[in-house]
Chain A
C-alpha cells in the first residue's frame, strides 16, 4: 500500500495497524521497516521547519513502480510506504517504508531498495526554513 499524506505520521502505529489487518498471518517471518525523520540541522544550518512538495501523479506512479520492482526481485508478502508532504518540524517522521517477507534476508534487502529508489526517483522536494533563511535542499545524500 502506498500513501502520500499531509497529516501527522506515527510510523509505529501505522506498522501495527497494517500488520494487524494483514490476511497473511503465519506466512511472514520477517518485517523490516525504515523511518526517516526531520533533523534540526542540515549541512550545518539549523532547521526550524521543512516543507515537502511533490508532483501529484508522477510521485504515485513511481512509488507503485518501485514497489512492483521490489516484488519482482524478492519474494515479498506485503509492502507499505507512507510519505508526508506539507509542513514538518524537526523530529517529525517524513517517510515509512516497510516490508513483510518469509525471511529476513529479502525483507532487509527489499526495504533498503524501496527507500533508496524512493530517494533517487520519486519526485518530492524539500525546502528548509531556518532563522531568517530559506533554501531548497539541492540533493539527497
Chain B
C-alpha cells in the first residue's frame, strides 16, 4: 500500500509529472508529503490540496491508501 499523489494544471507542468506514489508510513500530513516529493521546491502560494477528492489542509493527516492532490486555484465556469 502507498499514498497516491496527483498534480494538476500549472503545478503539474512545473513539476513535469502528473502523479507520484509515496510509501505509506513515511509521511503523516499533506505538508510532509509535499516535502518528501518536491526535492526542496516550496509549495507555490495559493496551492489547494485534497485528500480522497475532498478539500483538505496542509496539516491534514494522510493515511495508507489515500489519494492526495495538489493544485492551483480552480478556474472553471
| Chain A residues within CB distance 8 Å of chain B | 36, 52-55, 57-59, 61, 83, 94-95, 115, 118-127, 136-140
Contact = CB atoms under 8 A, between A and B. Distances in A.
Interface of B: 6, 8-10, 13, 46, 50, 53-55, 69, 71-77
B75 A124 contact: yes
Contacts of B46: 139
A127 B9 contact: yes
A63 to B, nearest CB: 10
Contacts of A127: 9
Contact of A118 (B54, B55, B76): B76
Given A123-B71, A125-B71, A136 B77 contact: no
Nearest to A60: B53
Contacts of A59: 76
A125 B9 contact: yes
A140 B73 contact: yes
8 contacts: A53-B9, A55-B71, A58-B54, A95-B77, A125-B71, A127-B9, A139-B73, A140-B73
Given A53-B8, A53-B9, A127-B9, A58 B69 contact: yes
Residue from A55, A115, A138 having most chain B Cβ neighbours under 10 A: A55
A119 B75 CA distance: 6
Contact of B74 (A57, A94, A125): A125
A57 B76 CA distance: 15
B61 to A, nearest CB: 19
A59 B54 CA distance: 10
A140 B77 contact: yes
Contacts of B53: 55, 57-58, 61
B77 A118 contact: yes
A39 to B, nearest CB: 13
A118 B72 CA distance: 15
